[in-house]
A and B are shown apart, each in its own frame.
Chain A
Amino acid sequence: MTFRSQRTTDHRAERILAMLARYQPVPGVYDEILDEKGEPREHWKPVLATLADLGPRELEKRFSGADRYMRDSGVYYRVYDDPKSGERAWPLAHLPLVIAPDEWKALSEGLRERAELLEIVLKDLFGPADLVRDGLVPGATIAGSPDFLRPLVGTPPRGGSHLLYYAVDVGRGPDGRWWVLGDRAQAPSGAGYALQNRLAMARSLPEIYRNLPVERLAGFFQSLRSEFSSHAAATNSRVAVLTPGPLNETYFEHAFLARYLGFLLAEGADLTVRDDTLYVRTVSGLKKLEMVWRRLDADFADPLELNPRSQLGVAGLVHAIRSGKVTLANALGSGVLEARSLLAFLPSVARARLGRDLAIPHVATWWCGQPLERGAVIADLESFVIAPAFTQTIPGLLDDGAVLASSLSPEHRLRLAEEIRLRGSDFVAQEVVKLSTMPVWNDGYLEPRPFILRLFLARVGDGWEVMPGGFCRIGDRVDARAVTMQRDGRSADVCVLAEGPVAETTLLPTPDKIELRRSTSSLPSRAADNLFWLARYMERAEGTLRLLRALGDQVGSGETTGPDMLKRLVDLLVTWEALPKDTVLTEPQAVAAAVLHGRAPGGLLSLARAAHNAASVIRDRFSPDAWKTINDMVHLAEGDKRMEAGALDRVETGLRLAAVFSGLTQENMNQLIGWRFLKIGKRIERALAICRFGRNFGDARSGTAGLDLLLALADSQITYRRRYVMIAARAPVLDLVVLDPNNPRSVAFQVERIADHLAHLPDHAADGRLNVPEKLIARTRVDLQTADAHTLDGRQILAIEQRLMAISDEVSERYFTHRDGANPVGAAASDLF
C-alpha cells in the first residue's frame, strides 16, 4: 500500500512539473501560484494535485464540457461597436483563481471598511457637502462627475443608505498586497457572470469543488435577496430589476439574476409613476413597486428631471424617490464614486472621518486640477498612467480610457500635456501598477497571465456581506492595466477557501420574508404584448410558408389547373405584402426565393426578424431551444444561399422550424398567463389566415382545384379524405376548414381556444359578466355555430375576420396599453421635446 501511494505521489509530482514546464512568472511581478523560489504556494497545491491526477486529456474533455455548459445556458455578452451587434459566447478560462482563507479574511474586512467610507462620502456629497467645505475634497472633483446629479442633492434616500450593492476592482501588486483599482457603484455587473462561471466549473471539475473547502456563492445571493425584499415589505411587492433592455452589453446578466432571485425584470417602459408612486404595468393593471435594483445608468432614469433624451427611464421616478415611495439600489447619484478624481482625496477623507488609513490602499492617484500636482505630472508624464477624471474616455485624446503615457506617440503625448495644462480638472495621473499573474490553461500547459478581480458587497442590515468569490478577468497580454470584457480576455471562477468545512447552501425559496410569487398577477404588459406578437409573427410566417409549399405542389403534382392557381397564389402573396406590388414572377422557385429572402414586410425575412425582436425582449420567458429556433428562422431567411434553386426545400425547412417552435411553446413553457397571450396571438393569426385562404380559394369560381388547395393550406386533406370519399366539394370543405370545431386547423377550433384563453385572463369578471374581448369572441362563436356550410360566403367569412381583428385590438387595449388613464406602450411613438 505504502509503495503504491508513494508511486502515485511521484507520478503526481511529475505531472505537476510537466504542467508547469512552460510556466515562467514575469520578473518583478507577484505570481499567484509560484512563490519567489518557484515553488507552488500551499493553497494551490490541492488544486494542482487534482489537475495532475486528471491528466491533460481528461482535463481537455472537462474544459470543453464547461464551454458547452456556457453555450447551452445561453451565456453571452454583447459588444457595442460590433457592426453585427454581436452577442459573444462567454470566454471562460478553465482554471479558477484560488484565494487562501486568512488572506480572504483580511481582504473582505478591508473592503467592508471601504464600503462604509464610501457611504459616508455619498451621504455628505448629496447632503451638506462638508467634505468640500472642510477642504478635504475640491468641489470640482465632484461637480465634474456626470453622476453628480443635482436634482438629487438634498434628497436622502429612503432607508437612509445610498449604497446597497457595491463592487470593487482589485489587483495584487508586486509586494503581494491587494490594491483597489477602482470602485463600481453605479450599476456594477459581474456577479451573475461569476455565478455562471461557478456553475460551469463546478460541473466540469467537481473534484475541486467537492474535495476542497470552497466557499459557496448562494448564501450571498440569499442575503441580498432577503435584504432587497425587505425594502418592499410595506406593499409586499416584488423587487424589480430595471434593465436598459436587450441591447445592453450585460442584459443576459440582468435577466439571469432576475430569474435566479425571483425578481421582476423590467424596462423603463414597463414602469410608470402616478402621483408620487412607482408602478409596473401588468396584464392585471398597475401594481405598486417600492424596491428597484437599477442596472440602468442614473442619468437615464428619468426623462423629466434627468437626461430628457432618455427613452429608457421612467418619467417622474425622481419625484417618487423624493417622496420616499421607492428605494433604488443604488441611489441615483452613487455613480459619482466612480470618478477617479475622488481617489486622490479618499485617503484624507478616511483619516478625517474614520480616524485611520484604509486597510486596503488604492492605486496612487493625483488630480491634475491642482497646480502643484499638474506641474509634477506634466514634467514627468511618461512615468504615469493618465486617465479621464470623470468619464470612461475623452474623445480624440483618451479614446480607450486610461493609458500608459509612455506608450503614446510623442505627438500624442504633447497634445495630452497641453490639454492637461488647460483643463487639468479633467485628468488624473495614476501610478503604474504591475498586476500579479495567475495560471491559464494553454495546450496542456499552464501559463501566467495578469488579472483583475472584481468583488461584490451587499448591504445586509447594518453591515456589509462580501460575496466569497468574484469575477476574475484575465488579460491576454502581460500589461493588463486596462482589461475589460469589451476587449479580448477571459474570465475565471474565483475559489475562496474556507478554514473549515463548508455548509451546503442553495437558493431554494426560504420561508423568511419572501412571499410566494404569483407570476400570473405580475406579468408585465410589455412582456405579454411581445409574447402575443411573437406568436402572431411566427404563425404568420408559417402561413406564408404554407402558401409557398402549395405553390410548389401546384407544379410538382402536374395538375392542369396550374397557371391560374399559380397566379392567384402569387396575387395572394402580394396581398399579404410577402411580395412587392409589381411582382410578375410565376416560376415557383423564383417566387419562393423572393418571399423567403426579399425585403417585403410580409416576407419571411421581415417576419422572422420581427419575431426575433419581440422574442429578444422576453428571452427569459421561454426555453433557449425556442429562442434558437427563432434564430434559425432568421438565419434561414438571411442565409447566404439566396439563389432560386432549392428555395422550395428551404420552405420545408422553415415549416419544420415553425412546427418545432410551436411544439416547444406547447410542451416546454409554463402554462401561465404569458403562455395564454402567446396562444391567443397564435390562434388569432391562424384563424385570420384560414379565413383569408377560405375567401380566396373556397369561393364559387375556384372549383375543385381551389378547394384542394384550400384543404392543403389548412392541412386538412387527410381528415377530408377520411370523412368524404369523394373529390373536394365546396360545402364539406368549408365546413371542415371553417365551421368544424373538432378540426384543429379550422377557424371554429381557433375561436373555441381563444374563448377558453380569454376566460383565463386576469380581470375576467367573477360574476360572469363578459369583458369586451369576451363579448366579441362569444358572438363569433355563435356565428360559426349557426352558420350553414352550404350558404357560407366570402362576406360572412370577412365579417368573422374583422371580428377577430377587433378582438386583437381589444386585447391589446385592455391588457397591454391600459388606456384608462394610462399611456400606451410600444406601438405609439413617444415624442420627446
Chain B
Amino acid sequence: MRYQVRQVTDYSYARPVVFAQHVLRIVPVDRPGQTVSHCDITITPSPAMRRDDTDFFGNRRIFLDFDHPHRALTIEMRADITVAGTSRPLPGMDPPWERVRETAFASADMSPSSPVHALFPSTYVPRDPMIRAYASASFPPGRPVLEAAFDLAKRIRDDFTYAPGATDTSTPAAKAFAMRRGVCQDFTHIMISGLRGLGLPAAYVSGFLRTIPPAGKPRLEGADATHAWVSLWCGPELGWWGLDPTNGLIVGEDHIVLAIGRDFVDVAPNGGVVIAAGDHDIAVAVDVKPLGA
C-alpha cells in the first residue's frame, strides 16, 4: 500500500525563546517491508544550524540550533511511503515463549536488530511485578510466543480505555496501568513492560496509521496522531513482529514505521533543550492518505 503522510508540528511559546537545541525524529526511512520514495522537511523559521544523522537503531535524526529569539516554530514533514503486506506466520510456526527468552539471553549479536537491546528495563519501562503478573495470564508454559503476545495485545485493548488526555508523554507505565486508561504510548509501554518482565525482547515503535479505513472496516484509534505499538522478537527464524495493543491486532500494512527504540525516549519525535522563561505549547497534526497499492 502506498501512502502520502503529512505531519505538522507547531510550537508556540509564551515568551520569546532565545536559544534552543532540538533533536527531531520525524523522518521515515526504508526498512524491511517499507520503502520511502520521497521525504520533505520544512522548518520555519530557518535554524542557525541543521545536522542530520542516523542513530544506533537506524532512525533518522535532525539536530537543530536556533539562536534568534522566536515565539513560534513549525516543522512539516511530507513523505510518500510504500508498505508491503507481510503474511502472518501460520499457527505453530512460532516457538514457545520460554525458548525465545533463552535464545535472546544467549544471543551473540550486538547489531541494532539484536533482541538483547530490547530485553531490559528502560526509562519508561522499569521493572513492574504488577504488570508482569497481568501479562503472564497470556503466557502459560509452552504457548507459542506470537499467539501469546497477540492474546496479550487483545486483552490490553479490551481491559483498558482509550482516553486521550488521561495521560501525557511523561506518564510512566505503572500509572496508566493502575488507571486502566491511556493512549497508544501508555498501552505500548504497558505491553512492553509485561513482555520484558517475562524475559521477552520487546521494542517500542512510533509511526502512523492510515487515517481513513478501507471500506467496510472501522477507523482505528490513534489515526489522527503519531501512533505507537510494540515490536516483539519471536526467535531467530521469525524475527520481529509488530503488535498494536491499542487496536488489539498484529501489525500489517496499515502501520507506517517512523522510529524504533527501547521506549518513548529513543523515538521521541521532538526532544531538546529550550531556554525560555515562559510556557510552551505543542500541537501535532497528522494526515495519512492511502494512494492505492
A821 to B20, alpha carbons, bound, how many Å?
11
Check B116 against A140 for contact (C-beta < 8 Å): yes
Q: A133 touching B19 by the CB < 8 A rule?
A: no
Q: How far is the CB of A413 from chain B (nearest CB, A)?
A: 16
Q: Report the separation of the CA atoms of residues A394 and B107 in the bound assembly, to the nearest whole angstrom.
A: 24
User: Is B271 a contact of A424 with CB atoms below 8 Å?
Assistant: no
The yes or no answer to A316 lying at the interface (CB within 8 A) is: yes
Task: Give A308 to B264 CA distance when docked, in angstroms.
Answer: 11
For residue B240, CB closer than 8 A to chain A, the reply is no
Q: Are A829 and B277 closer than 8 Å at their CB atoms? A: yes
User: Is there an interface contact between A425 and B110, defined as CB atoms closer than 8 Å?
Assistant: no
Q: B52 an interface residue at 8 Å Cβ cutoff?
A: no
Q: Is B274 touching A423 in the complex (CB atoms < 8 A)? A: no
**Which chain B residues (31-81) contact chain A, with CB distance < 8 Å?**
49, 51, 55-57, 63, 67
| Residue A830 is within 8 A (CB to CB) of chain B in the complex | yes
Contact A315:B55 (CB < 8 A) given known A139-B109, A370-B105: no
Counting CB contacts under 8 A, is B265 at the interface? yes
A-chain residues with CB within 8 Å of residue B90 when the two chains form the complex:
none
Contact B275 A139 (CB under 8 A): no
Q: How far is the CB of A596 from chain B (nearest CB, A)?
A: 33
Is there contact, CB below 8 Å, between B272 and A833? yes
Q: Is B108 interfacial (CB-CB < 8 Å)?
A: yes
Residue in A133, A138, A308, A319 whose Cβ sees the most chain B Cβ within 10 Å: A308
Whether B271 lies near A308 (C-beta < 8 A) is: yes
CA of A394 to CA of B121 in the docked complex: distance in angstroms?
11
B18 interface neighbour in A275, A823, A832, Cβ under 8 Å: A823
Cα separation A267 to B272 with both chains bound (whole Å) = 19
**CB of A143 within 8 A of chain B?**
yes
Q: Within the complex, which residue of B18, B117, B270 is in contact with A819, where a contact is CB–CB below 8 Å?
A: B18
**B105 with A140: CB separation less than 8 A:** yes
Cβ-based interface call for B23 (8 A): yes
A304 with B105: CB separation less than 8 A: no
Is B191's CB within 8 Å of the partner chain A?
no
Cβ A138 vs Cβ B107 within 8 A: yes
Q: A316–B20 Cα gap in the complex (Å)?
A: 12
CB of A129 within 8 A of CB of B271, answer: no
Q: Report the contact-size class of chain A (Cβ under 8 Å from the partner).
A: 35 or more
Q: Given A275-B49, A425-B199 in contact, is the A150-B117 Cβ separation under 8 Å?
A: yes
Interface residues of B in 94-145 (CB under 8 A from A): 102, 104-110, 114, 116-117, 119-120, 123, 126-127, 129, 132
Alpha-carbon separation in the docked complex, A305 to B21 (Å): 11
> Do A315 and B21 touch (CB < 8 A)?
yes
**A390 contacts which chain B residues (CB < 8 A)?**
120
**Complex: how many Å from CA A140 to CA B120?**
9
Complex-state Cα separation, A369 to B119, whole angstroms: 11
- CB-CB under 8 A from B282, the residues of chain A are 833
**In this complex, what residue of B is CB-closest to A820?**
B67
Question: Is A425 within 8 A of B119, CB to CB?
Answer: yes
- The answer to whether A132 and B110 touch across the interface, beta carbons within 8 angstroms, is yes
Most buried by A among B116, B129, B197, B273: B273
Given that A370-B106, A396-B129, A829-B277 are known contacts, is A304 also in contact with B114, CB under 8 Å in the complex? no
> Given the complex, which residues of A lie within 8 Å of B127, measured CB to CB?
394-395, 423, 426
A307 to B265, CA, bound (A): 8
Return the contact of B63 from the options A303, A319, A369, A423 (Cβ within 8 A): A319
Complex Cα distance A371/B273, Å? 44
Q: Does A765 belong to the interface (CB within 8 Å)?
A: no
* Dominant secondary structure at the A interface: loop
CB <8 Å contact, A133 and B108: yes
B274 touching A153, Cβ below 8 Å: no
Bitwise interface map of B from 11 to 28 toward A, beta carbon under 8 Å scored 1, else 0: 000000011010100000
Contact (A144, B120) CB under 8 Å given A139-B108, A308-B265, A371-B102 = yes
List residues of chain B with CB within 8 A of the CB of A140: 104-107, 116, 119-120
| Contacting pair B106 A828 (CB below 8 A) | no
- In the complex, the answer to whether A143 meets B114 with C-beta atoms within 8 Å is yes
By a CB distance below 8 angstroms, the chain B residues around A304 are 21, 23, 63, 271-273
- With both chains docked as a complex, state the minimum distance between the C-beta of A72 and any C-beta of chain B, in angstroms: 41
Asked if A828 and B265 sit within 8 Å, CB to CB, the answer is no
Chain A residues near B272 (CB-CB < 8 A): 303-304, 315, 832-833
User: Which of chain A's residues has its CB closest to B266's CB?
Assistant: A150
The distance from the CB of A612 to the nearest CB of chain B, in whole angstroms, is: 25
With known contacts A422-B199, A829-B276, A831-B274, A369–B105 Cβ distance under 8 A:
yes
Task: Select one of B21, B56, B197 contacting A153, CB under 8 A.
Answer: B56
Contact B271–A142 (Cβ < 8 Å): no
Annotate A361-384 by CB proximity to B: 1 below 8 A, 0 otherwise: 000000001110000000000000
Interface residues of A in 793-831 (CB under 8 A from B): 819, 821-824, 828-831
Most central of A135, A140, A823 by chain B CB within 10 Å: A140
In the assembled complex, which residues on chain A have CB atoms less than 8 Å from the CB atom of B120? Answer: 140, 143-144, 390, 425-426
By beta carbon, the residue of chain B nearest A125 is B110
The chain B residue sitting closest to A135, CB to CB, is: B108
Chain B positions within 8 Å of A663 at CB level:
none
**Does B219 sit at the interface, judged by CB under 8 A?**
no
In contact, B21 and A423 (Cβ under 8 angstroms): no
On chain A, the residues within 8 Å of B18 by CB distance are: 819, 823-824
- Quick one: closest B residue to A367, CB to CB? B105
CB distance from A651 to the nearest CB of B (A): 37
Tell me the bound Cα distance from A150 to B110 in angstroms.
10
A388 to B127 CA separation, bound complex (whole angstroms)? 13
Interface residue? B280 (CB, 8 A): yes
Contact residues in B for A424 (Cβ distance below 8 Å)? 105, 199
B235-293 contacts to A (CB < 8 Å) = 265, 268, 270-277, 280, 282
Bound: A135/B19 CA distance, A: 48
A132 touching B108, Cβ below 8 Å: yes
Indicate if B198 sits at the interface (CB-CB under 8 A): yes
0/1 per residue, A346-371, Cβ < 8 Å to B? 00000000000000000000000111
How far is A46 from B51 in the complex, measured between Cα atoms in Å? 66
Docked Cα-Cα span, A702 to B126, in Å, equals 67
Given contacts A143-B117, A396-B129, are A138 and B199 in contact (CB under 8 A)?
A: no
Contact pick for B276, options A134, A135, A831, CB 8 Å: A831
Flag if A423 contacts B197 (CB, 8 Å): yes
Check B198–A142 contact: CB distance below 8 A. no
A151 at the interface (CB under 8 A from B): yes
What 0/1 pattern do residues 116 to 133 of A give for CB contact below 8 A with B? 000000000100010011
Task: Return the chain B residue nearest A128 by Cβ.
Answer: B110
Give the docked Cα–Cα distance between A425 and B132 (Å): 16
User: What separation, in Å, do the CA atoms of A832 and B105 have in the docked complex?
Assistant: 35
Known: A140-B116, A144-B120, A422-B197. A315 touches B106 (CB 8 A): no
Tell me the complex Cα distance, A737–B56, Å.
Answer: 67
Q: How far is the CB of B173 from chain A (nearest CB, A)?
A: 15
Contacts of B265 in A (CB 8 A): 307-308
Residue of A nearest to B275 (CB): A823
CA distance A135 to B106 in the complex (A): 9
- Taking a contact as CB atoms under 8 Å apart, the answer to whether B108 and A828 are in contact is no
A822 to B282, CA, bound (A): 24
A143 adjacent to B119 (CB under 8 Å): yes
Instruction: Say yes or no: A138 contacts B275, CB within 8 Å.
Output: no
Residues on the B chain within 8 Å of A139, using CB: 107-110, 114, 116
| Shortest Cβ distance from residue B56 to the other chain A in the assembled complex, whole angstroms | 4
Q: Give the docked Cα–Cα distance between A821 and B276 (Å).
A: 14
Shortest CB-to-CB span from A401 to chain B, Å, is 15
- Contact sample, A vs B, 5 pairs, CB 8 Å cutoff: A139-B107, A143-B116, A425-B105, A821-B67, A824-B19
18 additional A-B pairs beyond A125-B110, A140-B104, A319-B51, beta carbons within 8 Å, are A129-B110, A133-B110, A135-B108, A138-B107, A139-B114, A139-B116, A143-B114, A144-B120, A307-B123, A315-B272, A425-B105, A426-B120, A819-B18, A822-B67, A830-B273, A831-B276, A832-B273, A833-B268
Which 8 A-B pairs have CB atoms at the shortest separation, nearest pair first? A823-B19, A150-B56, A143-B116, A129-B110, A139-B116, A823-B275, A369-B105, A144-B120
Q: A-contacting residues of B (Cβ < 8 Å)?
A: 18-19, 21, 23, 49, 51, 55-57, 63, 67, 102, 104-110, 114, 116-117, 119-120, 123, 126-127, 129, 132, 197-199, 265, 268, 270-277, 280, 282
